[in-house]
Amino acid sequence: QVPLVESGGGLVQAGGSLRLSCAASTTIFDIGTMGWYRQAPGKQRELVAIVTSGGHTNYAEAVKGRFAISRDNAKNTVYLQMNSLKPEDTAVYYCNAYATGSHGIYEQHWGQGTQVTVSS
């Protein structure tokens, strides 16, 4: 079972908005910092935003003022509200979480990714 399941990606015009969601499965627990990363074609995966279990956030410079990350600890879910989207935001977006898995090890876990495409 995939530890993190993303949803909400799609195709949007420049200037539009999308909201990504990521829910943790029952295979992981003691969830700490959660975040979003993205990988565009031909580029390395990069940090977009993270949020600690206490609600502290951090953003990549490229998305500051346009994206907002939040989480619902009761639902083990993290969200990414993306506004004023630009073509350069086009990428596969991956959910990430530090958590304890079935092997009892506290480590990073990843979702399978969701495609976001912004047309000009």
5 half-sphere exposure, CB direction, 13 A CA radius: 8
Rounded Cα distance between 3 and 22, Å, is: 10
- Within 13 Å and on the Cβ side, how many CA atoms surround 43? 14
20-79 pLDDT, tens per residue?
A: 999 999 899 999 999 999 999 999 999 999 999 999 999 999 999 999 999 999 999 999
If one counts every other C-beta atom within 10 angstroms of the C-beta of residue 96, the result is 21
- Tell me if 108 sits within 8 A of 39, measured CB to CB: no
Q: Is the pLDDT assigned to residue 102 strictly greater than 90?
A: no
